[in-house]
Amino acid sequence: MARPEILFPLFANAITLPGIGPKSAQALERLGIGKVVDLLFHIPHGLIDRRQRDSLVGIDPGEVVTVAVIIGQHRRGRSETQPYRVVVEGGGLLFEVVYFRAKADWIERLLPQGERRVISGKVEFFDGRLQMTHPELVLTEADAKTMAPFEPVYPLTQGLAQRQLRKAVTGALGKAPDMPEWLRKDMLEQKAWPSWTDALRQIHEPQGAQTLAPGAPARARLAYDELLSHQLALMLARASMQRGKGQGNAGDGELRKRAATAFGFPPTGAQAKALEQIEADMRSALRMLRLLQGDVGSGKTWVALMALLIAVEAGGQGALMAPTEILARQHAKGLEPLAEAAGVAITLLTGRDKGAARREKLAAIAEGGTGIVIGTHALFQSSVAFHDLRLAVIDEQHRFGVRQRMELTAKAPAGCDVLVMTATPIPRTLALAGYGDLDISVLDEKPPGRQPIETRLISTERYLDVVERLGQAIARGDRAYWVCPLVEESDRSAMIAAEDRFRDLQTRFGAAAALVHGQMPPDEKDAAMARFQSGEAQILVATTVIEVGVDVPEATIMVIEQAEMFGLAQLHQLRGRVGRGAGRSSCLLMFSPPLGATARARLEMMRETEDGFRIAEEDLRLRGAGDVLGTAQSGLPRFKIADLERDTGLMEAARDDARLVMHSDPTLRGERGKALKTLLYLMDRDASIQLLKIG
C-alpha cells in the first residue's frame, strides 16, 4: 500500500513552507526536520506570556513584559557609541526604552513622541532604574489586540530564528488535514483528548503554560499516538515473524530429567515458571518469540539448556548464540557435562574453527549428528546449514535492536522458535518500548545461598592503598578482577589504559597478573582467561570484555576504575562477576574526584542495593532512557513527544490497545484499522510498513 493521499501535504519538504529558504531548511535538517510533519512534531519547550500588564510595580528583572505606554522625550546619545534613550510612561512607572547603534529617524518613526504604543520585551535594572533594551515588539494598540497572548518558544539551532520557525509552524498547521480518528471514541471521551489536528493547534498556539504541561490533554494525546503506533508496529512485526512455524515442538521430558538430575539443584520457582512458559510456546504451532530477562546470576543458562533439550526431545536441534567467543566457550564448557548426562552431543562452532575440523563440525550439524550447537553470531550467518533447527537461543542480546533481532530471526530457518536472553534488568516501560515484539519471562529470584557483595566507593587518590590490600588478598589466595573503563567509546584507549594498569600490577605481583582485552589475538585471550580460571593468575586486568557473563566462582574481588564513567546497569553487570561462589565478595568502585551530585548518587545507589531492577529504574531516572540501554545499539525508538520515564501509564495503555487491535483486526482492514494504518504512515513506522505486507 502506498502512503495515503491525505498525508501528502504533510510529507512535503519543509522548504515549501513560508519563511523557509535553502539556508533555513539546512538549519532545520540539523534539528531532524525535513518534512512538514516533522515541524508539527517539533514541540515548543516553553512560552512567552505576552498578555498586557496594568502594573510594572514589583516586576523582577529579566522578565518579559508587555505593557501599553505613552511615549515621552527622546534622548539621543552624545556619540555613536552611546545609547539612544526614550522615556516612556506605563504600568504605573516612568522608565526608559534603550537602543544601541540604531538610526535616530527609525526610532522616531517607531516611537513617536506623545503617542501610545504597546511594547514587549525583557526589563532590567540599570543604575537602579527600570529599562527595556531593544523591545521585541512595538505595536499600535490596534495591532496589539490581534497579538497571540502566549507565544510558543521552540528549540532552535544556528541559522534559525524563533520568529522564522513560528511562521513555518503556522504554515505547517495550515496544511494539517482533518484525520480519520484512529483512537477509540470511549478513550477520547474519558480522557477528554482533542482530535489530532486540534491537539497540534493547542500545542503550537498555547493558551497558557498548562497547555504544554506533561499531563495536558493535547500533549498526552500526541504522546499516546506515538506510543500506540510504535506498539502496533512491533506487534505487526511480531505477527509476521510468528507465522509459518507449522509444527509444535514438544518433548517427553526424558532428556531434561537426566540433565536436571546431573545438575543436582532443584530449579528456583522463577526458573520453573519461565520454563513452563517456554514449553507452552514451543509446543504451540506459532513461533516462539520470547525474552528471558534475568539478573546476573539468576540462572538463565539452566533455562536455556532445558529449552534446547526440548528441541532435541522433539527430534530436532537447538542452537545457542553468545555475543563473544569467550562466552560461547564458557557455555559449551558448562553445558557439556549436563548434555552428556542426557546423552546429547554438543558442538562448539566459532570463527576459529578452520579447515578439516570445521568441515567435520559443519557436517555433524548438517546431518543431525549433534543436537546442540553453541557459537557466536557466525552461527546464523555463514555457510552453517542445520539438519533441523527448532530453537535458537540468543544470549545477552540487550545490545541488539528490534531490527537486528528481526534479521536474526529471519536468518534462523523458518519457523524456528526464538528465545532471547538478557542479563540487563530493564524497567518495564523500556522493555515494552524496546522488546514489545517479544513475550517476556522474568527470572526475579536467585538461586539460594548467595552471599551479599560488599560494595565500597574509593577515590583514585588511594590507588596505593587499594593495591596494598589487593596484595594481602592475593596472599590469602583470593582472585580479583580489575576493570579499566572504556574511554570515549574507543576500544583502543581502553586497551591502552588496561595495558598500563597491567604493567603496573605485573611489576608488583609478577605472574599473578593477567591481561585480557578485546583487541588481543583470540589465543592470548583464551590463555589469559584459562590462567585466571585455574587460579594460576589471581588478578585479571580487563576491559569491559568480561562484562557479559564470564563465570569464575572463585573470584571474590572486583575493582572498577573510574566507575563514574560506567552506566549503572554496566556496573551491576560487572559486579555480578563476583559473589558467584561460597566466599565473601567485595566490589571496589574507584572514582576520580571531584564527583558531581548525580555521579555520586549513582555510585551510592550501587552501594545501596544489588537488586538489578531497582538499579535499572534508578538509572532510567538519573540518565534517561536512551543512555540506559546504550542509545544507538539499544533498539529503543526515539520518541519525539512521549517520554518513557514519565508516560509509563500511556505506554501500558497503548500496549493493551495495540493487543486488542491485533486480536480483532490484525490486517487493519476495519474502519479503525484503516485509520490506524494512516497513523502508522504518519509516524513513519517503516518497520511495520516495509517488512509487513499489511496493505
Q: Which residues bind Mg ion (CB under 5 A)?
A: 549
* Partner that binds at residue 265, options Mg ion, ligand ADP, none, CB closer than 5 to 8 Å by kind: ligand ADP
Cell numbers placing 606: 550501587
| Secondary structure element (H or E) that encloses residue 283, with its range | helix 269-283
Q: Is 592 helix (H, G, I), strand (E, B) or coil?
A: coil
Q: Which of 90, 121, 135, 294 binds ligand ADP (CB under 6 A)?
A: 294
Q: Residue 152 or residue 294: which is nearer to ligand ADP going by CB?
A: 294
Q: Which of 90, 194, 251, 299 binds ligand ADP (CB under 6 A)?
A: 299
Q: Residue 384 or residue 423: which is nearer to ligand ADP going by CB?
A: 423
Distance (Å) of CA 505 to CA 352, 482, 500, 582, 588: 31, 10, 9, 26, 16
* Partner that binds at residue 429, options Mg ion, ligand ADP, none, CB closer than 5 to 8 Å by kind: none
For 285-329, what is the HEC assignment? CCCCEEEEEECCCCCHHHHHHHHHHHHHHCCCEEEEECCCHHHHH
Q: Is 390 helix (H, G, I), strand (E, B) or coil?
A: strand
Q: Residue 577 or residue 602: which is nearer to ligand ADP going by CB?
A: 577
Contacts of residue 190, defined as CB under 8 A and 6 or more positions apart, other chains included, come to: none
Residue with cell 494539517: 176
* Partner that binds at residue 298, options ligand ADP, Mg ion, none, CB closer than 5 to 8 Å by kind: ligand ADP
Say whether residue 268 binds ligand ADP (CB under 6 A).
Answer: yes
Stretch binding ligand ADP (CB under 6 A), from 118-126, 144-152, 163-171, 298-306: 298-306
* Partner that binds at residue 434, options ligand ADP, Mg ion, none, CB closer than 5 to 8 Å by kind: none
Task: Determine the Cα–Cα distance for residues 143 and 118; give it in Å rounded to an integer.
Answer: 9
Q: Which of 150, 302, 532, 639 binds ligand ADP (CB under 6 A)?
A: 302
Say whether residue 397 binds ligand ADP (CB under 6 A).
Answer: no
Which 545-604 residues touch ligand ADP, going by CB under 6 A? 551, 580
Q: Residue 411 or residue 450: which is nearer to ligand ADP going by CB?
A: 450
Task: Determine the Cα–Cα distance for residues 467 and 471; give it in Å rounded to an integer.
Answer: 6
* Partner that binds at residue 447, options Mg ion, ligand ADP, none, CB closer than 5 to 8 Å by kind: ligand ADP
* Partner that binds at residue 299, options ligand ADP, Mg ion, none, CB closer than 5 to 8 Å by kind: ligand ADP
Task: Determine the Cα–Cα distance for residues 494 and 484; give it in Å rounded to an integer.
Answer: 7
Q: How far is the CB of 36 from ligand ADP (least distance, A)?
A: 48
- Cα of first residue to Cα of last residue in the chain, in angstroms, is 5
Q: Residue 117 or residue 580: which is nearer to ligand ADP going by CB?
A: 580
Q: Residue 549 or residue 612: which is nearer to Mg ion going by CB?
A: 549
Q: Residue 301 or residue 586: which is nearer to ligand ADP going by CB?
A: 301
Say whether residue 301 binds ligand ADP (CB under 6 A).
Answer: yes
Residues in the chain: 695
Say whether residue 259 binds ligand ADP (CB under 6 A).
Answer: no
Task: Determine the Cα–Cα distance for residues 68 and 118; give it in Å rounded to an integer.
Answer: 4
Contact 371, 377 (CB under 8 A): no
Residue with cell 561462589: 581
Q: Residue 231 or residue 298: which is nearer to Mg ion going by CB?
A: 298
Q: Which of 300, 329, 479, 677 binds ligand ADP (CB under 6 A)?
A: 300
Task: Determine the Cα–Cα distance for residues 503 and 118; give it in Å rounded to an integer.
Answer: 73
Burial of 334 (0-12, 13-18, 19+ CB in 10 A): middle
Say whether residue 267 binds ligand ADP (CB under 6 A).
Answer: yes
Cβ neighbours around 472 below 10 Å, total: 9
Q: How far is the CB of 547 from Mg ion (least distance, A)?
A: 11
Task: Determine the Cα–Cα distance for residues 297 and 445; give it in Å rounded to an integer.
Answer: 10
Say whether residue 447 binds ligand ADP (CB under 6 A).
Answer: yes
Number of residues that bind ligand ADP (CB under 6 A): 16
Q: Residue 299 or residue 485: which is nearer to ligand ADP going by CB?
A: 299
Say whether residue 271 binds ligand ADP (CB under 6 A).
Answer: yes
* Partner that binds at residue 455, options ligand ADP, Mg ion, none, CB closer than 5 to 8 Å by kind: none
DSSP code, position 61: T
647 CA to centre of own chain: 15
Q: How far is the CB of 265 from ligand ADP (least distance, A)?
A: 3
Percent of residues in the chain assigned helix, strand, coil, to nearest 5: 45, 20, 35
Task: Determine the Cα–Cα distance for residues 159 and 181; give it in Å rounded to an integer.
Answer: 37
Say whether residue 206 binds ligand ADP (CB under 6 A).
Answer: no
Q: Between 13 and 52, how does the x/- string for binding to ligand ADP read (CB under 6 A)?
A: ----------------------------------------
Q: How far is the CB of 551 from ligand ADP (least distance, A)?
A: 5
| Secondary structure element (H or E) that encloses residue 563, with its range | none
* Partner that binds at residue 436, options ligand ADP, Mg ion, none, CB closer than 5 to 8 Å by kind: none
Q: Residue 37 or residue 426: which is nearer to ligand ADP going by CB?
A: 426
Q: Residue 120 or residue 301: which is nearer to ligand ADP going by CB?
A: 301
Stretch binding ligand ADP (CB under 6 A), from 127-135, 265-273, 424-432, 501-509: 265-273
Smallest CA-to-CA distance from 241 within 307, 277, 310, 290 is with 290
Distance (Å) of CA 307 to CA 93, 316, 445, 515: 80, 12, 19, 35
Smallest CA-to-CA distance from 587 within 464, 466, 461, 447 is with 466
Which 339-368 residues touch ligand ADP, going by CB under 6 A? none
Q: Residue 228 or residue 335: which is nearer to ligand ADP going by CB?
A: 335
Task: Determine the Cα–Cα distance for residues 237 and 436; give it in Å rounded to an integer.
Answer: 10
Q: Residue 144 or residue 309: which is nearer to ligand ADP going by CB?
A: 309
* Partner that binds at residue 106, options Mg ion, ligand ADP, none, CB closer than 5 to 8 Å by kind: none
Q: How far is the CB of 14 from ligand ADP (least distance, A)?
A: 48
Task: Determine the Cα–Cα distance for residues 614 and 608; give it in Å rounded to an integer.
Answer: 10
Q: How far is the CB of 580 from ligand ADP (least distance, A)?
A: 6
Which 404-443 residues touch ligand ADP, going by CB under 6 A? 423
Cell numbers placing 276: 513452563
Q: Residue 86 or residue 571: which is nearer to Mg ion going by CB?
A: 571
Rounded to the nearest 10°, the torsion over CA 59, 61, 63, 68 is 50
- E-strand spans in 100-200? 116-126, 129-133, 137-139, 150-153
Q: Residue 267 or residue 413: which is nearer to ligand ADP going by CB?
A: 267
* Partner that binds at residue 34, options ligand ADP, Mg ion, none, CB closer than 5 to 8 Å by kind: none
Distance (Å) of CA 524 to CA 28, 146, 355, 566: 50, 76, 21, 26
* Partner that binds at residue 219, options ligand ADP, Mg ion, none, CB closer than 5 to 8 Å by kind: none
Stretch binding ligand ADP (CB under 6 A), from 266-274, 370-378, 383-391, 634-642: 266-274
| Secondary structure element (H or E) that encloses residue 97, with its range | strand 93-99
Task: Determine the Cα–Cα distance for residues 423 and 662; give it in Å rounded to an integer.
Answer: 30
Q: Residue 580 or residue 655: which is nearer to ligand ADP going by CB?
A: 580
State phi, psi for 291 to the nearest 5 degrees.
-105, 125
Q: Which of 296, 338, 615, 658 binds ligand ADP (CB under 6 A)?
A: 296
Say whether residue 330 binds ligand ADP (CB under 6 A).
Answer: no
Contact 557, 585 (CB under 8 A): yes
Residues that bind ligand ADP (CB under 6 A): 265, 267-268, 271, 294, 296-302, 423, 447, 551, 580
